[in-house]
């Protein structure tokens, strides 16, 4: 890390650094080793990290060299091993999902991939970016109180924050009684026309460095996420509903996203899709939505996951922070059997 710090003094990199792990055979902490290899190439210290891996990566079986036999991989072990690779002051949010959407190495020369089966994962490492603040947050359901204390929004920077532009929300343990109601309590107050909301329901979250998540009950439910603040941020999102079921309608949705005119340099694409979509939804044709995105945004890396429910809608925030909306009705943000496509532009480089 000292060498990385020395390189930082010589580097003015503004874009997010990205590492990706392509699918491969089950190995002992494959995600950890892949991230370690890529960290050797980092030229700036990350301040915020979002990593997402499929459930097999965290709960599959690995060979225990001491005992020479297979044992079930421990999610906590994997998460802690990943966090040890990063600076102590780095904000880390780790998610476990049924499937992964990833552009290998974040390179425009690589096709984005919808990986619905097998081990895969990726990590996005954000350095300090002038004019941009990224922070993690976590709201867990309090079994003693049915009503959520909305003062926690302000504490998390999600209210009374004129620079707030994008909020990525991820619900976990959605099978738990009361989880859907709690998600509504979080989403509804944030359903403002001036910010982008996007995300979905994941299986679990494994890392949140601001608190000791391992001390919480394993069946607790809640919401974690990332908030992006800064006047230079631009964003847009579109919803692909159940009727989008072929190449033509998928590309029409991408055309709507393209029409937002979000700058594509220093921009990341996110795809949050239902596990019921993918190749099953498109009648065995794989990678349909990722390919459609690639057609219209060939230079924007795409990342995301297949989950158990989607958060988002059609919403565009332009450069002068004027929302192009047809009406003032609150948007319906919680969906099933849909895909949410989102662009986040972090500002132009100097």
The whole-angstrom separation of Cα 346 and Cα 306 is 24
The whole-angstrom separation of Cα 107 and Cα 127 is 18
How does pLDDT run across 228-259, given as a tens digit for each residue? Answer: 999 999 999 999 999 999 999 999 999 999 98
Residue 266 clears pLDDT 90, i.e. is over it: yes
The whole-angstrom separation of Cα 180 and Cα 311 is 12
How does pLDDT run across 288-340, given as a tens digit for each residue? Answer: 999 999 999 999 999 999 999 999 988 876 544 444 443 455 678 899 999 99
| Cβ–Cβ under 8 Å, residues 57 and 78 | yes
Residue 29 clears pLDDT 50, i.e. is over it: yes
Q: What is the predicted pLDDT for the residue at 209?
A: 59
Q: What is the predicted pLDDT for the residue at 350?
A: 54
Dump the DSSP string for 167-179: EEEEEE-TTSTTH
Q: What is the predicted pLDDT for the residue at 262?
A: 92
Quick one: tokens of 174? 């959605």
Nearest to 235 by CA among 169, 167, 289: 167
Nearest to 344 by CA among 273, 232, 268: 268
Residue 195 clears pLDDT 70, i.e. is over it: yes
Per CATH, which fold does 1-59+72-126 belong to?
A: 60s Ribosomal Protein L30; Chain: A; (3.30.1330)
The whole-angstrom separation of Cα 285 and Cα 283 is 6
Place of tokens 């998460």: 79
- Beta strand ranges found along the chain (DSSP E): 17-24, 48-54, 61-64, 69-72, 91-97, 99-102, 113-115, 119-126, 133-140, 164-172, 196-202, 204-208, 222-229, 234-240, 267-274, 302-307, 310-311, 315-317, 334-335, 339-345
β-strand pairing of 91-97 with 204-208? antiparallel
For CATH 3.30.1330, list the domain ranges present in the chain. Answer: 1-59+72-126, 133-229
- CA end-to-end span of the chain: 25
Quick one: tokens of 13? 């990199």
| Cβ–Cβ under 8 Å, residues 70 and 112 | no
What's the whole-number mean pLDDT along residues 82-109?
A: 88
pLDDT category of residue 275 using cuts at 50, 70 and 90: very high
Higher-pLDDT residue of 148 and 6 is 148
Residue 212 clears pLDDT 70, i.e. is over it: no
Per CATH, which fold does 133-229 belong to?
A: 60s Ribosomal Protein L30; Chain: A; (3.30.1330)
How does pLDDT run across 111-149, given as a tens digit for each residue? Answer: 999 999 888 889 999 999 999 999 999 998 876 677 788
| Cβ–Cβ under 8 Å, residues 304 and 198 | no
> Residue 44 to residues 9, 39, 93, 108, 229: CA-CA distances in angstroms?
9, 10, 19, 21, 21
56-61, long-range: CB within 8 Å, 24+ apart, which pairs? 56/26, 56/118, 56/119, 57/30, 57/31, 57/96, 57/119, 57/120, 57/121, 58/96, 58/206, 59/96, 60/26, 60/119, 61/26
| Cβ–Cβ under 8 Å, residues 262 and 237 | no
Q: Name every residue whose Cβ is closer than 8 Å to that of residue 307 and which is 6 or more positions away in sequence.
A: 97, 98, 200, 201, 202, 203, 272, 273, 274, 275
Across 37-68, b (16+ Cβ under 10 Å) vs e yields ebbeebebbbbbbbbbbbbbbbebebeeeeee
| Cβ–Cβ under 8 Å, residues 27 and 34 | no
């Amino acid at each position: 890390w000292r060498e990385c710090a020395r390189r930082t003094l010589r580097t003015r990199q503004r874009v997010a650094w990205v590492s990706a792990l392509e699918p491969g055979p089950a190995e002992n902490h494959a995600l950890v080793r892949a991230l370690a290899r890529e960290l050797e190439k980092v030229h700036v210290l990350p301040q915020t990290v979002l990593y997402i891996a499929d459930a097999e990566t965290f709960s599959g079986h690995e060979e225990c060299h001491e005992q020479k036999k297979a044992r079930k991989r421990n999610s906590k072990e994997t998460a802690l091993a990943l966090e040890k690779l990063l600076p102590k002051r780095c904000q880390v949010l780790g998610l476990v999902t049924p499937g992964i959407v990833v552009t290998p190495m974040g390179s425009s020369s690589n096709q984005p991939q919808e990986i619905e089966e097998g081990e895969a994962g990726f990590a996005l490492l954000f350095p300090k970016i002038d004019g941009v603040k990224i922070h993690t947050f976590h709201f867990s359901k309090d079994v003693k109180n049915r009503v959520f204390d909305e003062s926690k929004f302000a504490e998390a920077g999600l209210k009374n924050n004129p620079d707030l532009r994008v909020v990525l929300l991820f619900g976990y343990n959605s099978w738990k009684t009361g989880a859907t109601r709690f998600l509504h309590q979080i989403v509804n107050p944030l359903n403002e026309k001036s910010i982008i909301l996007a995300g979905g329901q994941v299986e679990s979250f494994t890392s949140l460095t601001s608190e000791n998540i391992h001390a919480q009950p394993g069946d607790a439910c809640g919401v974690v996420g990332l908030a992006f603040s800064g006047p230079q941020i631009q964003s847009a999102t579109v919803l692909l509903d159940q009727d989008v079921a072929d190449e033509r309608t998928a590309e029409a949705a991408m055309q709507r996203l393209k029409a937002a005119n979000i700058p594509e340099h220093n921009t990341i694409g996110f795809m949050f899709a239902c596990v019921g979509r993918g190749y099953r939804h498109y009648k065995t044709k794989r990678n349909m939505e990722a390919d459609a995105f690639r057609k219209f945004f060939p230079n924007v890396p795409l990342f995301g996951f297949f989950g158990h429910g989607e958060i988002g809608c059609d919403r565009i925030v332009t450069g002068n922070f004027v929302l192009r909306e047809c009406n003032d009705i609150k948007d319906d943000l919680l969906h099933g059997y849909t895909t949410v496509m989102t662009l986040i532009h972090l500002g132009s480089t100097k």
